[in-house]
Amino acid sequence: MSVIRCFGFPGILLAIPSLAAPVRFPRAYPPTNDVRLDNLVPIPMRDGVTLYADVYRPAKPGRYPVIVARTPYSVERYPVAYEEPLFFAERGYVFVFEDVRGRHESEGKWEPFRNDIEDGYDTVEWAAKQPWSNGKVAMQGHSYGGHVQWRAAMALPPHLVAIFPIVASTSLYHNWVTLNGAWRLSFNFGWGAVRQESRIMQNTGVHTLKHGPPSLSYETILEHLPLIDMQELAGRHTRFYTDWIRHPDYDDYWRVLNVEEVFDKLSVPVQTMGGWFDIFTQGTQHGYTGMSLRAKTEQARKQARMVIGPWEHGVSRKTGDLDFGPAAMVDRNEVQLEWYDYWLKGKDDGLGSAPPVRIFVMGRNEWRYEHEYPLARTMYTKMYFQPGHALSWEAPRGDAPPDRYTYDPMNPVPSTGGNNCCGTPTLSGPRDQRPIEKRPDVLVYTSEVLTKDVEVTGPVKVVLAASSDAPDTDFVAKLVDVFPDGRAINMCEGILRARYRDSFSHPEPLDAGRVYALSIDLVGTSNVFLKGHRIRVDVTSSHFPEFDRNPNTGEPFGTSAHVRAAHQEVYHSAAHASYILLPVIP
């Protein structure tokens, strides 16, 4: 067994305080006041554009702490637009709910992400100076509403006291538009070109035309090549979507929007919250690790917090094919209220002294406190691919021929579960992989039946010793929990666009037939592979339409309809070992 003990401290196993105490989730106190609503309140931006907000505030005159939320989805979207503002306003907060620039009631040009740094700063500082404000401002929101919190924090507004980004990206390139350089096709097209083009019809899209012509079905359009003119088929003409395609590499277009570049400049306390199967789970994890390790001040590092459950893009008991039990249900508003009460009202019901990380451990289906993430006591352990499609703790010995398959972009492996969201046509979450594991272009490596429980919590990586005859191609890997009844449930996944194997900014083609060590980030999970189960790794080269099909040609991204088949080889010999690196918890 190949073991690397302890994240950051190879060869050392640290003793840590007991984490046996049951995880505490708060319960909200009853409403304390009536609420008044001021509709269409103008908020001036520095460039003369006016944004508009609905302001919910306690009916009794006075100065109160303020929570700012900013959305592209309309502050009047019934019923979800009212629930959170009322919840917090009834408990002594002013809730400023603002349409972002160019959306719904707000003026200006809509371009996702581009103005959220300056507009977020201006909105926070405006809120701090109002007669109903006591000068303390926090931010709230999930998904895009979490993204805008990170962008505002990058501008360092002096009155911003705390943020709570939920299911939010930290790097729009690395964990929104792409994952490891592979383009999130169904999400980018469905959320971007379809849903966001119109400020009025933001909830409609091609995929909602259930009885429309087949040529306009979402599934048909997603198969179109080249990507650059896909949206024209749907009658869309979204400039920013075209810009995303024209910037496939990590360059200055994306760099200015990446909070991960500036964690060391931030001193605002941050709590992140998300799900193991959420499309932005990487952002949830990176937001916590970035702030806990790199934030500017000791207080911001120590006060960083994270909650991560067995969810997709929202809290639920059942996710995909699995029911995680009643413990999985957590009230997001109550968790947020505890955070805002602590930072804006000085009320501490135990948050300040509690361990900073609350994770849901699947398999055992229970919550647990941790002092950090990744866990200090992690034993990073390799499981090796073996001849005969086996998976073993022992390194391969001697020589063996590689496993081979052909990846044809015209017959891609269909997306089956995984980290996706938001109206796309694929089923996300933990799903039975057996239907696709039967395909000849999916390699399946399976361990022996486990004789004891094996907990895997933390970042997961697959290193493939692989070659291709194509100048560029993709490799997909999934960590799978095989149940005694045969169900094969994906627990985490990753994809690598081979041109980005060394750098997301400087892509390089492959040399045909050369064996590379290709590292695939599977992001992370927390799952106990129970006694009687088996551990499995699936390897293939497509995951469509969650990710676009690599045409295998090496041509500029998104501009050509030409494709070719790629012949792939995965090695498992002493000279060229392939393995999965698991964060095993003793």
- pLDDT of 209 > 50? The answer is no
- When pLDDT is averaged across residues 458-484 and rounded to a whole number, the result is 98
Question: Which residue, among 197, 190, 189, has the nearest Cα to 102 in the 3D structure?
Answer: 197
Q: What are phi and psi of 43, to 5 degrees?
A: -125, 110
Taking 80 as the threshold, does the pLDDT of residue 528 lie above it? yes
User: Which of 49-53, 79-83, 409-413 shows the lowest per-residue confidence on average (mean pLDDT)?
Assistant: 79-83
pLDDT digits (tens, 9 = 90+) for 323-367: 999 999 999 999 999 999 999 999 998 899 999 999 999 999 999
**Whole-number pLDDT of residue 221:** 86
- Predicted local confidence at residue 1, as pLDDT: 47
Between 77 and 435, where is the model more confident?
435
CA 84, CA 67: separation in Å to the nearest integer?
A: 11
Residue 18 has pLDDT above 70, yes or no: no
Same fold, 2-8+376-585 and 32-163: no
Q: What are the residue ranges of helices labelled H in 95-206?
A: 116-128, 144-154, 185-187
Residue 253 pLDDT: 96
Which residue, 128, 127, 107, 2, is CA-closest to 47? 107
pLDDT at residue number 574: 96
Q: Is 543 a catalytic residue?
A: no
- Rounded CA-CA distance 526/584 in Å is 10
**Distance of alpha carbon 349 from alpha carbon 543, whole angstroms:** 45
Identify the CA nearest to 493 among candidates 482, 477, 475.
477
Q: Considering 142, 313, 533, 576, which one is annotated as catalytic?
A: 313
Flag whether pLDDT at 105 surpasses 50. Answer: yes
> Domain ranges in the chain?
2-8+376-585, 32-163, 178-249
pLDDT band at 279 (very low <50, low <70, confident <90, very high): very high
| Catalytic, out of 74, 106, 133, 143 | 143
78 confidence band (pLDDT: 50, 70, 90): low
Domain 32-163 -> CATH class: alpha beta
d(CA 304, CA 290): 9
Q: Which helix (H) or strand (E) holds 404?
A: strand 403-407
Q: What is the model's pLDDT at position 387?
A: 96
d(CA 94, CA 77): 19
Q: Looking at residue 212, what is its pLDDT?
A: 63
This prediction has a pTM of: 0.93
**How crowded is residue 109: how many other Cβ atoms within 10 Å of its Cβ?**
10
Chain segment 382-391, per-residue pLDDT in tens: 999 999 999 9
DSSP string, 271-337: EEEEETTSTTHHHHHHHHHHHHHH-SSHHHHHT-EEEEES-SSS--SEETTEE--GGG---HHHHHH
Q: Is the pLDDT of residue 23 over 80?
A: yes
Which of these, 178, 179, 205, lies nearest to 193 by C-alpha position? 205
What architecture (CATH level 2) is domain 2-8+376-585? Sandwich (2.60)
Active site (annotated) includes residue 267 = no
Confidence of residue 204 (pLDDT cuts 50, 70, 90): very low
Pairing of strands 160-166, 133-142: parallel
CA angle 307, 311, 314 (to 5 degrees): 90
Contact between residue 172 and residue 250 where contact means Cβ atoms under 8 Å apart: no
In angstroms and rounded to an integer, the radius of gyration of the C-alpha atoms of the chain is 24
Assess whether 143 carries a catalytic annotation. Answer: yes
Query: Which one is catalytic: 54, 99, 119, 278?
Result: 278
**Confidence band for 231, pLDDT divided at 50, 70 and 90:** confident
Dist. CA 414–CA 436, nearest whole Å: 8
CB neighbour list of residue 351: distance below 8 Å, 6 or more residues apart:
305, 338, 339, 342
469-489 burial by CB neighbour count: b if 16+ within 10 A, else e?
Answer: bbbbbbbbbbbbbbeeeebbb
